[in-house]
Amino acid sequence: MNSKRSMWKVLLGVVGIGLLVTNCTIQSDDDTSCEPGTKKNCNACDGDVTGTQTCLDDGTYAACFCPSSTVGGGSNGGGSSGGASGAGASSSEAGSGGVTLADAGATSSSAGEGGSGGDAPTVFATCEDCLDARCAKEFAACDADPNCISTNIDGTGQYERIAECINKERIKGIVKRDVVRGCGVTIGASADPDVISDWAPEGMAATTTDLLNCMADAPGAAPASWANDDANFPVDSNDMIKPTPWPENTCAKDACTSAL
């Protein structure tokens, strides 16, 4: 299975985002009697940088204030420090060769808001990268079943045929659930959304069915609800209005149906 899986991922692309950290440190010096409002230089900052102290209303000097470029130094109290947190970015793997559902990735998930930090959005270079991450069990089962992914990845596997069908539609734009269902119920022979057939169609391997359901179902939803729930295909006077959007945090939304 590992040798087959490696054929899906030939080129690796890594995107990295570093951490940006700023610091501002307030230092203090010995208190001395002074005239409120007056200032004096102080030498409590690192790197021989000169700071300043301002005389307070009680006739004593405030803590030594150092420029933000300096860190450390002694303090008599009253000083404070602050920082901004950064977010790391995940790496992405680019794939080439064979039939894939995605040649360009999309972002998913939410990054942590400023101050609290958090994970950066995940970018999937291919649909298979997303399936490997979010549908690992189903993808591994499909990869091990020649009916789902052919032994030599020659395009004869059911998933490969469906993927090729969806890719042809992606050239025209974002692929909606009715078109994906059309590719699925014909096992790749047609993307016509008006084709009437049960999902999953007769003859579809369970491994293919499970993988497509994991790709498209909302997290926690009943299996195959993406294709079988009439609410996802609203109809007015026997005419389909518009299929509902793909759910958040699904590979269908984030990597597998974006326009090429």
Tens digits of residue pLDDT in 20-44? 333 333 344 444 578 887 778 888 7
- Contact status, residue 101 vs residue 110, Cβ threshold 8 Å: no
**Average pLDDT in the chain:** 75
Phi and psi torsions of 207, nearest 5°: -65, -40
Average pLDDT over residues 128-143: 96
According to DSSP, residue 57 is labeled: T
The pLDDT confidence band at residue 67, using thresholds 50, 70 and 90, is: low
Q: What is the pLDDT of residue 24?
A: 36
Residue 4 pLDDT grade (very low, low, confident, very high; cuts 50, 70, 90):
low
User: What's the token pair of residue 228?
Assistant: 């079988």
DSSP 253: I
Is the per-residue pLDDT at 11 higher than 70? no
Is residue 17 within 8 Å of 120, Cβ to Cβ? yes
Give the pLDDT band (50/70/90) at residue 1.
low
Q: Is there a contact between 87 and 111 (Cβ–Cβ < 8 Å)?
A: yes
Give the pLDDT confidence score for residue 71 in this predicted structure.
Answer: 37
- SS3 for 129? helix
Q: Nearest to residue 128, comparing CAs of 84, 160, 172?
A: 160
pLDDT at 74: 40
Judged against a pLDDT cut of 70, whether residue 17 lies above it is answered with no
* Sequential DSSP letters for 213-227: HHHHSPTTSPTTHHH
| pLDDT at 100 (0 to 100) | 53
Query: For residue 59, which amino acid is it?
Result: G
User: Among candidates 255, 148, 257, 141, which has minimal Cα distance to 200?
Assistant: 148
Measured CA distances, 214 to 29, 223, 225, 251 (Å): 63, 8, 10, 8
- Greatest mean pLDDT among 6-10, 28-32, 39-43, 243-247 lies in 243-247
* Token pair listed for 163: 């993927």
What would the two tokens of residue 99 be?
Answer: 């039939």
Mean predicted confidence (pLDDT) in 183-205: 94
- pTM recorded for the entire structure: 0.57
74-128 residue pLDDT tens: 444 443 333 333 433 343 343 444 455 544 344 444 434 444 455 666 889 999 9
